[in-house]
Amino acid sequence: MTVQTRPTHRRSAASPDYLILIALLAVGIVLPYFMDSRYAMSQLTLFLIWATVVSQWNIVMGFAGIFSLAQLVLFAVGGYTAAILGKYFGTDMFLGTLLGGAAAVCASLLIGFACLRLRGIYVALLTFAIAQAAFLLINSDTNCIIGSGQTCQTLTGGPRGLSQFGDYGFRQLLGRNYIVGNYYVALTALALAVTFSIVIVRGPLGFAFKALRDNETVAVCSGINRYKYQLLVFAFSAFFTGIAGGVYAAHFKVIGPSVLGFPLLAFLVSMLVVGGLGRLWGPVVGAALLMLVDEQLKEFTEYRNLGLGAIIIFFIVLLPDGVAGMIERVSKKFRGQLGEKQGHWGRWRTRLGMPMGNKLHKQSSANS
């Protein structure tokens, strides 16, 4: 009994999250060999990009409790940085993508300093205002930096956006299969972003945010500085979001203010809600489902936003923890039944289904 309940100092070999990640990654790596349509490859790449953005948004909103609507601003900062560097300085797009991530971190720190002293809905309002301001600023950008009149080129390209700034150069390497190259770049970005998510969620920071949610006064008196840790997570997740922006720009070879528009915001929020806010695997599930649904409803584009709205309402009312949450509940029930037969081991399994489940439980089971 006592042996069982005492923690050991053995570090667990691998969390199930890493196993899931490796499995998904394996599927992702072999998938292109079964795809012969360039369109499908392109849509898959887009899925990977959105999944990256939403996974980071989920860390910010679902775990760190920052109700930020400026995630796409960070995405745009990453994308525009890569595009501008490529267009005016001929920077390589790989380097541009990394610098886009760095620029997004800088932007996130600025936004974070301004917003994170606030809480809840005020953070949402202020970040939404920032997103709208960024959208309008780019849309109304008329300062020519090169030429004038017909040949006028503004820094951001204004409402037309930027193009002809290069790509990852897979066309020379892979010929007409160049999209596969972009796909693998996006897959790498997503894998890194999800690894980062797991580290945050399962590590001390994840517990700190959980503690802040359970009892803020006690958490603060335990030495947890909400502002500092929120800013930290906001900045880190901005890096991967900015990277996703760079990949987007390089993949489509164009970036415009539409990435800051309301339709995309609604699309990504739907992914977050459908997948399950605050669930580690929610964003990936949500992004996949929404991309599939979007694909089916292509003919009805005029009803797209309406449909997204209906989906969001449906999930918030009936499945507030999303598809990932539903899967967890069902599997928990299943494991719970097993647990009655298997005693401590089963209870441990049950705990792992929780979004904040952790390795401590696993260790005790290693002893039992």
Binding site for other proteins (CB under 8 A): 1-2, 5-7, 9, 11, 199, 203-205, 207-208, 210-211, 214-215, 217-225, 229, 232, 356, 358, 360-361, 364
Q: How far is the CB of 120 from other proteins (least distance, A)?
A: 20
Nearer to other proteins (CB atom), residue 79 or residue 353: 353
Give the residue with the Cβ less far from other proteins, 37 or 342: 342
Nearer to other proteins, 196 or 267 (CB): 196
What is the nearest approach in angstroms of other proteins to the Cβ of residue 242? 20
Interhelix angle 282-296/322-342, nearest 10 degrees: 130
| Distance in Å, CB of 312 to other proteins, minimum | 27
CB 211 to other proteins: min, Å: 5
| Least distance between other proteins and beta carbon 217 (Å) | 6
Best CA proximity match to 347, nearest among 336, 363, 333, 356: 336
Report, in Å, the least distance between residue 77 CB and other proteins.
23
Q: Which is nearer to other proteins, 100 or 339 (CB)?
A: 339
Q: Please identify, using beta-carbon distances, which residue of 208 and 249 lies nearer to other proteins.
A: 208
List Cβ neighbours of 138 (8 Å cut-off, separation of 6 or more). 76, 80, 156, 158, 159, 257, 260
- Closer by beta carbon to other proteins, 186 or else 212: 212
Assess contact for 224 and 208: CB atoms under 8 A.
Answer: yes
Nearest approach, Cβ of 355 to other proteins (angstroms)? 11
Whole-number Å distance between alpha carbons of 197 and 74:
17
225 vs 301, beta carbon nearer other proteins: 225
Q: Cβ closer to other proteins: 224 or 255? A: 224
